[in-house]
Amino acid sequence: MTETPKNTKKLYVKTYGCQMNVYDSERMVEALGGQGYEETKTPDDADMILLNTCHIREKAAEKVYSELGRFKGLKAANPDLKIGVAGCVAQAEGEEIIRRQPMVDLVVGPQSYHRLPAMEQAVGEGRKALDTEFPDDDKFDTLRKRAKTKRGPTAFLTVQEGCDKFCAFCVVPYTRGAEVSRPADRIIREAQELVEAGVKEITLLGQNVNAYHGHDGGLAGLIWALDKVDGLERIRFTTSHPNDMDDALIEAHGTCDKLMPYLHLPVQSGSNSILKAMNRKHTRDEYFRLIERIRAARPDLLLSGDFIVGFPGETEADFEDTMDLIREVHYGQAYSFKYSTRPGTPAAEKPQLPDDVMDDRLQRLQTLLRDQQRATQDAMVGRTVKVLFEKAGREAGQMIGKSEYLHAVFAPCEDVAVGDLREVEVTTSATNSLGGRLV
C-alpha cells in the first residue's frame, strides 16, 4: 500500500541582521521541513510567515511591528495563516509582541528554534506559542543532520554563540546569552555534509567566534581540523574580539592555506577613554600591537572593522583619536554607525550626544573609510586573485565570485560554472567590486 504524501505547505522567512541569523533561518526552514513546509520567496501564498529578527540597530522592535502590520491583509484573507517572530527581538520582547500584535501566533528566541515543530503544532491546535528560554537541550544536537539538498559554493556555519564581554552598548549577552561553543566533532560533521552538498567555502560564525573553546586548540585547532576536510577549499571566520586573538590563531593566518587572508576585527573606537567607557577591555596601543603581529604573520591580509561614533561622552578629541587609528591601521573594508541606545545596556542610561554632532562625525569617518576601501581596491589592479564563482552576472557570459580577500569580482567566463575556483587577473576597480579576466 502506497503512503499518501503530505500536502506541502509554504514557509516564508524574512531574515534581518547578521550572518548568524542567515544560518539560523536555514536551520528553521530545515526544522519545519518535517512538518511538510517548503520555503517560498513571497509571503503572498505562504501558510506560515516567520520573521527572524535582529536587535542590534536602533528601533529594531518598532521596525518589526511595522513589518507585521503589512501582513494584516494576508491574515484577514487567510485566517489559517500562521505568523511567527523569531530571533533577538523575539527574545527581548517576548509576550509583548503577542500583546501588541495579536495576529502573531508564535514567538521563539534564538536558542529555542529547534522547538519550532512542536510550537507549530500547538498553533495548529488553536494555541499561542511562546518560547524565549535558554534551554538545557542543545538545539544543534536536536537538529543534527543538514538536509542533503544541493547547495551553492559558500555557506555559513555557526560554531559559537553568545558573549561574555558585556560591552556597554551591546544587547547580545542579554538576547543570545553566555558564550557557548559547539563540540568540534559536530562542526566537522556538519562541514562534511555541506561539502557533500556542493559547498567549497565555509565561514565560521560566532558572536565572539575567536573565543571558541569546543576544540582543545581553540578556534585555531578547529580551523586545522577543518583544513583536513576533503573538498573544502576555503575557511573564513567572523566576528572576532581583539582580546581573543591568541598566538595559535595569528599563526594559522600565516600557515593555513585554506584560511583566507581576510579578518574582521572590530575596535569600535580609537580613544582610550571611550574604549574604557565601552568596556572593551583593551587600549588603542594594544590594538596597534595586535595588528602588527597579525600582519607580520600574513602581510597581504585585508583588515575589516566596526566603528561607533557618538558614543556617550565622546569629545571631538576622542573622535580624532578614532580617525587617527583608522589612518594608522588602514582598513580595506569597514562598517560604521551612529551610536543608538539599546534599552537595558549601561550606555543607555548616559546622556546622549546631539544628532547633528553624530551625523557630522559619521560623515567624516565614512569618507575616510571609503577612501581607504577604494585605495585598497585600486591597488588590486594588475594582481592575480583566486575567485570562487558563485553566480552568473547580468551580462551574457559574465560570472561573479569572491576573491580570497572577499572582494566581489566580475569576469567574462563562458566556460566557468558555479563553484569553480579560478585565477583572475584584476583589470578594473569599481566602488564595490573588481573586474578581471581569466588567467
* 19-35 core/surface letters (b: 16 or more CB in 10 A; e: else): ebbbbbbbbbbbbbeeb
Q: Which amino acid is at 366?
A: Q
Binding site, annotated residues: 18, 54, 88, 163, 167, 170
Residues 6+ apart with CB under 8 A from 274: 268, 311, 313, 314, 318, 321, 322
Instruction: Indicate the pairing of strand 180-181 with strand 37-39.
Output: unpaired
CA atoms in the 13 A half-sphere facing the CB of 380:
33
Gap between the Cα atoms of 400 and 99, Å rounded: 46
Q: Which amino acid is at 162?
A: G
Pair 202, 234: CB distance under 8 Å? yes
Pair 203, 191: CB distance under 8 Å? no
Binding site, annotated residues for [4Fe-4S] cluster: 18, 54, 88, 163, 167, 170
Gap between the Cα atoms of 175 and 24, Å rounded: 14
Q: Which helix (H) or strand (E) holds 319?
A: helix 316-329
Pair 305, 325: CB distance under 8 Å? no
Q: Is 413 helix (H, G, I), strand (E, B) or coil?
A: coil
Concatenating the DSSP letter of every residue in 238-253 gives E---GGG--HHHHHHH
Location of C-alpha cell 514557509: 11
Task: Bin 397: left if φ > 0, else alpha if -120 < ψ < 50, else beta.
Answer: left
Location of C-alpha cell 542567515: 22
Residues 6+ apart with CB under 8 A from 178: 162, 163, 164
